[in-house]
């Protein structure tokens, strides 16, 4: 280090704003990450991040969003909306999804050399100088630069200290080797290992949080993945529920025009009441992301700003995006009429009205299912959230004596809670009853008791009409004097 005498300044990267915290819309994101950049990378294991720095430390980060799909949600959640926590599940396995690189000769400058290959696994690197092998730790150290390239730093007095060039052999992770099958995953009966979407089972036991939204940006447009995601929204750990966000393929082989979306949605089988279907993709500056990554962050942020209660609708909420595009980057500019066509088909899109906004309130089950509990985004999530909350709140009561005191305590507690949310305007009403007709003595003797909860979350004011009428009498009064 140079000898310093005097006064100096230096600059550091701007710190990220502390994200707002909320768990009603807890995002559980499946996909791939540049895990070669971190030590002991998690594979098919859920990791939680409360900040951008924490996510990068655990999974690495790359703005090659097409290859490393988890990074889309990192960017959308932490940098666009500043919302946390987010749970990530990486399915890229360095032991399986890898490729050998050709031997590369790199030049040394100031005892450092950069290997112009992405995805290199440090453990596979072999270096020679002047035909002599070098030893890591003794002759060189390895690190990565901000772009993800491997940097070799020669050690003073090491065997390669005077080398002008180095020969490097290595192996890189290969995100192109990851398939929809890896994302769907499964259970290996012989080893007991769970992979892909099966890992959602571990979220609550590991973190004590129930999933709110399932995402797989870059993968959910594949019906082999999307249909399974929708199925996984129910009976998580046997009791919990959530919703999922599914992208529609906007490539030339999918829906490259809004008029093709309805047919593609039905062909994919995206009609589940727990699913939201989104089209097309979005641009943020020069970056292109799947809509599900941005919409998931928007929903989580909206919940966090609303006392962590998911009664609000994400539709007509502002998104800091530059536009909407097809997969190939072609601009999509829908007007309100065209966007409403998609809404009527159970598809959420985006429009530019005084800034870009999410647009659409219907779940994927619409128009076939018009039950307000199921079709409306806010209603569906409110029911799911209330059910999960009931389970978590009263789990402690399981195995208590089924006497009047138990029944009264649950009914009173839920009604107090319901009255509170009603008073706050978060629902029109919430009332619990214990009905004798639903609790025959046979069930009581069998250890079963049942409660009846009436919920009325608000439906959206989706169609506001003002009738304008010309009133001649006003004109007459204005012109007629007295």
Q: What is the pLDDT of residue 15?
A: 43
Q: What is the pLDDT of residue 14?
A: 46
Residue 306 host element (H or E): none
Q: Tell me how far apart the alpha carbons of residues 307 and 317 are, in angstroms, rounded to a whole number.
A: 17
385 is a domain residue = no
Q: Is 134 in the same domain as 192?
A: no
Q: Is 230 in the same domain as 285?
A: yes
Under the banding of pLDDT at 50, 70 and 90, the label for residue 447 is: very high
Q: Tell me how far apart the alpha carbons of residues 164 and 269 are, in angstroms, rounded to a whole number.
A: 59
271 is a domain residue = yes
> Phi then psi for 31, rounded to 5 degrees?
165, -150
Q: Tell me how far apart the alpha carbons of residues 183 and 251 are, in angstroms, rounded to a whole number.
A: 20
CATH of residue 242: 3.40.50
Residue 382 host element (H or E): helix 377-394
394 is a domain residue = no
Residue pointed to by tokens 């012989």: 190
What's the structural domain count of the chain?
3
Residue 98 host element (H or E): strand 98-100
Q: Is 358 in the same domain as 480?
A: no
392 is a domain residue = no
Residue 154 host element (H or E): strand 149-154
Of the two residues 32 and 15, the one the predictor is more confident about is 32
27 in Cβ contact with 74 (< 8 Å) = no
The last residue of one of the domains, among 132, 149, 173, is 173
Class of residue 308 by CB neighbours under 10 A (exposed 0-12, middle 13-18, buried 19+): middle
CATH of residue 167: 2.60.40
Under the banding of pLDDT at 50, 70 and 90, the label for residue 39 is: very high
Q: Is 324 in the same domain as 414?
A: no
The boundaries of the domain holding residue 83 are: 20-92+184-372
User: Nearest to residue 255, comparing CAs of 276, 278, 272?
Assistant: 278
318 is a domain residue = yes
| Residue 482 reports pLDDT greater than 70 | no
| Residue 140 reports pLDDT greater than 70 | yes
Q: Is 228 in the same domain as 273?
A: yes
Q: Is 301 in the same domain as 423?
A: no
Q: What is the pLDDT of residue 233?
A: 97
Q: What is the pLDDT of residue 221?
A: 98
Quote the DSSP letter at residue 383.
Answer: H
Q: What is the pLDDT of residue 480?
A: 82
1 is a domain residue = no
386 is a domain residue = no
Under the banding of pLDDT at 50, 70 and 90, the label for residue 20 is: low
Q: Is 169 in the same domain as 189?
A: no
Q: Is 346 in the same domain as 268?
A: yes
Q: Is 112 in the same domain as 36?
A: no
- End-to-end CA distance of the chain, in Å? 93
Q: What is the pLDDT of residue 17?
A: 46
Kindly state the average pLDDT of the residues 324-337. 97
Q: What is the pLDDT of residue 316?
A: 97
Q: What is the pLDDT of residue 23?
A: 84
Q: Tell me how far apart the alpha carbons of residues 408 and 404 are, in angstroms, rounded to a whole number.
A: 6
Q: Is 213 in the same domain as 229?
A: yes
Q: What is the pLDDT of residue 60?
A: 97
| Residue 10 reports pLDDT greater than 90 | no
Q: Is 212 in the same domain as 150?
A: no
288 is a domain residue = yes
Q: Is 207 in the same domain as 317?
A: yes
């Amino acid at each position: 280090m140079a000898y310093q005498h005097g006064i100096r300044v230096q600059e550091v990267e701007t710190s990220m704003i502390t994200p707002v915290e909320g768990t009603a819309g807890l995002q559980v994101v499946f996909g791939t990450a540049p895990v070669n950049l971190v030590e002991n990378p998690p594979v098919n294991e859920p990791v939680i991040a409360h900040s951008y720095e924490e996510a990068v430390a655990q999974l690495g980060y790359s703005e090659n969003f097409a290859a490393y799909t988890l990074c889309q949600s990192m960017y959308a959640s932490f940098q666009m909306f500043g919302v946390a926590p987010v749970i990530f599940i990486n399915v890229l396995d360095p032991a399986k999804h890898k490729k050998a690189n050709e031997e590369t000769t790199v030049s040394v400058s100031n005892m450092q050399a950069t290997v112009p290959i992405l995805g290199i696994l440090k453990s596979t690197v072999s270096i020679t100088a002047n035909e002599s092998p070098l030893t890591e730790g003794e002759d060189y150290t390895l690190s990565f630069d901000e772009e993800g390239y491997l940097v070799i730093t020669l050690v003073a007095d090491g065997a390669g200290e005077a080398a002008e060039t180095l020969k490097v052999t290595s192996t890189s992770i290969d995100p192109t080797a990851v398939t929809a099958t890896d994302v769907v995953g499964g259970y290996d009966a012989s080893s007991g290992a769970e992979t892909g979407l099966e890992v959602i089972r571990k979220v609550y036991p590991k973190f004590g949080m129930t999933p709110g939204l399932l995402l797989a940006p870059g993968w959910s447009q594949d019906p082999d993945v999307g249909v399974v995601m929708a199925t996984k929204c129910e009976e998580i750990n046997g009791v919990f529920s959530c919703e999922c966000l599914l992208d529609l393929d906007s490539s030339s082989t999918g829906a490259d025009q809004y008029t093709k979306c309805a047919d593609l949605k039905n062909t994919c089988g995206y009609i589940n009441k727990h699913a939201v279907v989104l089209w097309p993709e979005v641009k943020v500056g020069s970056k292109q992301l799947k809509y599900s990554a941005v919409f998931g962050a928007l929903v989580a942020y909206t919940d966090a700003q609303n006392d962590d209660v998911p009664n609000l609708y994400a539709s007509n909420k502002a998104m800091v995006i530059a536009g909407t595009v097809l997969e190939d980057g072609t601009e999509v500019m829908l007007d309100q009429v065209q966007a409403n066509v998609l809404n009527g088909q159970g598809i959420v899109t985006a429009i530019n009205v005084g800034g870009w906004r999410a647009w659409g309130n219907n779940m994927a089950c619409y128009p076939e299912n018009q039950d307000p509990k199921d079709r409306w985004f806010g209603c569906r999530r409110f029911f799911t959230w209330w059910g999960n909350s009931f389970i978590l709140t009263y789990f402690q009561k399981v195995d208590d004596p089924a006497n009047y005191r138990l029944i009264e305590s649950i009914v009173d507690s839920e009604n107090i809670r319901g009255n509170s949310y009603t008073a706050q305007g978060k629902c029109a009403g919430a009332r619990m009853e214990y009905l004798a007709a639903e609790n025959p003595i046979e069930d009581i003797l069998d250890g079963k008791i049942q409660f009846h909860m009436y919920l009325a979350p608000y439906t959206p004011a989706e169609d506001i009409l003002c009738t304008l009428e010309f009133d001649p009498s006003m004109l007459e009064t204005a012109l007629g004097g007295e």
